[in-house]
Structure 1
């Protein structure tokens, strides 16, 4: 496997009605989070602890909630909020 990010449960549910510029910022930041998780959990599939706490990330025009799951080598974007 290789680390990646995705919307959960799916893109339509998470970013429906969100301005495209904000979506672009969220996706850039999600890619940064993937690189950080990849460096921290070199082989996520063999990780045996609890998944780390989720977090929030501020981006231009809003914020989003995410969860990293090392065993799945995924960062899930769960909610996007525009302001």
Structure 2
């Protein structure tokens, strides 16, 4: 398995109606979060510690909520809010 990010439950449900420039900012920031998670959890599939809590990330035009799930090697973007 390899680290990546995805929208949860799906892209249409999370970013529907958001401006394309805002979505691009979210996806760029999500790429950065994935790189950091991959460095922290070198082999996430064997991680047995406590799960992480939901976090937020600010971008120029808003904010988004996400969770890092080491065992899945995924960053799930759960909700976005454009200003």
Name segments (4+ residues, structure 1) moved above 6 Å: none
Q: Distance in 1 between matches of 2:25 and 2:48?
A: 32
TM-score normalised by L of structure 2: 0.98
Q: Which residue of 1 aligns with 2:61?
A: 61
Distance 1:32 1:51 in 2: 20
Unmatched 5+ stretches in structure 1: none
Instruction: Provide structure 2 residue ranges, at least 5 long, that are not aligned to the other structure.
Output: none
- How many pairs are equivalent? 83
Equivalent positions of 1:1-83 (< 5 A) are 1-83=1-83
RMSD after superposition = 0.5
TM-score when normalising by structure 1: 0.98
